[in-house]
């Protein structure tokens, strides 16, 4: 019986594990190996082991450090603004009982619309000559000259950041709102009877209840934001100059435009190690505090 169960268990888990090994673990290990090779797809004869060569080149390239900085700005900006907007709206929606589900549904529309549609719409809205954003801002007197937005090196990053926040804040909103709804009513009611005002209730009841959810959802959003390339790739391709070149753009350019697969892999390896260290740090600091408080 015991043995039969073990066989059953393995045979149920095996197909999924096999696929994950094939498309995830094997390529992951392969990437680590590739990153130590000069591997140009355009030069199949010239594949040679070069040790830390790709890494030395990576750290000595100006473009890499610009991409690193841009990635931190883009990802940090996404998580921060998505969280602030998502949590504020979740608190707002949590106040009212009527139409809450319908409103939440409408707020989810940007998250559901495909990235490609969002990116094309961005190019149209922020078009320097005919875009409606320039028209509106000039009518309101915010700007006197039409701006280039995606074509201006100093404005391109804020523009793609704004649009990506707009696309992804609904996820934060939905998850945080669901978290708010699990807070027991009677705790809030008894705090009210004790005379605690809204701010005190927020700090002493809402936040402790939400800490775990906030930690998971911000960490996930942080990790996912690192991956996200679609809007940037379609609207700016990482430009103008290097203004919106982030890690995925850099890896993709190296691997699939210069066909330098080894160099692309080395940037990917740096990225995963950075994320791993950051996540452990994040879970220790934020999660550790949560445990000691509860």
Count, residues near other proteins per rule CB under 8 A: 88
197: left (phi over 0), alpha (psi -120 to 50) or beta: beta
In angstroms, the first-to-last Cα distance of the chain is 42
Cα radius of gyration rounded to whole Å, the chain: 24
Nearest to 73, CA basis, from 280, 276, 260, 246: 246
* CA 40 to mean position of chain CA atoms: 30
Q: Is residue 188 within the footprint of other proteins (CB under 8 A)?
A: no
Q: Is residue 87 within the footprint of other proteins (CB under 8 A)?
A: no
- Beta carbon of residue 148, minimum distance to other proteins (angstroms, whole number): 15
Q: 27 to 46, contacts with other proteins by CB under 8 A?
A: 27-28, 30-31, 34
Q: Is residue 83 within the footprint of other proteins (CB under 8 A)?
A: no
Q: Is residue 216 within the footprint of other proteins (CB under 8 A)?
A: yes
Return the number of the residue (157 or 210) whose C-beta is nearest other proteins: 210
What x/- string results for residues 121 through 150 when contact with other proteins is judged by CB under 8 A?
x-xxx-x--x-x--x---x-----------
Angstrom distance (rounded) from CA 212 to CA 9 = 31
Options 21, 56, 72, 116; binder of other proteins; rule CB under 8 A: 116
- Beta carbon of residue 234, minimum distance to other proteins (angstroms, whole number): 6
Angstrom distance (rounded) from CA 11 to CA 230 = 37
Q: Is residue 207 within the footprint of other proteins (CB under 8 A)?
A: no
Options 227, 281, 284, 288; binder of other proteins; rule CB under 8 A: 227
Structure tokens at 262: 């080894």
Angstrom distance (rounded) from CA 247 to CA 232 = 11
Q: Is residue 86 within the footprint of other proteins (CB under 8 A)?
A: no
Using the 8-state DSSP alphabet, how is residue 149 labeled?
Answer: G
Return the number of the residue (12 or 62) whose C-beta is nearest other proteins: 12
Options 66, 73, 103, 183; binder of other proteins; rule CB under 8 A: 103
- Beta carbon of residue 56, minimum distance to other proteins (angstroms, whole number): 19
Phi, psi of 40 (to 5 degrees): -105, 130
């Amino acid at each position: 019986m015991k043995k039969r169960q073990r066989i059953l268990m393995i045979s149920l888990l095996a197909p999924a594990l096999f696929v994950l090994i094939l498309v995830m673990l094997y390529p992951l290990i392969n990437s680590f190996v590739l990153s130590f090779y000069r591997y140009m797809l355009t030069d199949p004869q010239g594949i040679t082991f070069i040790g830390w060569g790709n890494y030395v080149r990576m750290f000595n390239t100006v473009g890499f450090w610009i991409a690193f900085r841009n990635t931190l700005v883009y990802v940090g900006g996404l998580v921060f603004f998505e969280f602030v907007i998502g949590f504020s709206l979740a608190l707002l929606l949590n106040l009212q009982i009527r139409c809450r589900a319908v409103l939440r549904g409408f707020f989810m529309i940007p998250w559901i619309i495909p990235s490609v549609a969002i990116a094309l719409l961005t190019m149209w809205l922020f078009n320097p000559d005919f875009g409606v954003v320039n028209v509106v801002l000039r009518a309101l007197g915010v700007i006197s000259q039409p701006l280039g937005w995606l074509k201006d090196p100093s404005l391109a990053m804020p523009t793609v950041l704004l649009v990506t926040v707009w696309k992804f804040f609904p996820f934060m909103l939905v998850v945080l709102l669901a978290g708010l709804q699990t807070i027991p009513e009677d705790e809030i009611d008894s705090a009210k009877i004790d005379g605690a005002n809204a701010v005190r209730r927020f700090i002493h009841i809402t936040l402790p209840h939400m800490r775990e959810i906030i930690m998971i959802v911000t960490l996930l959003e942080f990790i996912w934001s690192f991956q996200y390339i679609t809007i940037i790739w379609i609207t700016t391709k990482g430009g103008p100059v290097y203004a919106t070149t982030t890690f995925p753009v850099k890896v993709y350019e190296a691997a699939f435009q210069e066909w330098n697969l080894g160099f692309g892999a080395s940037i990917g390896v740096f990225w995963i190690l950075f994320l791993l260290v950051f996540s452990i740090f994040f879970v220790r600091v934020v999660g550790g505090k949560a445990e000691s408080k509860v």
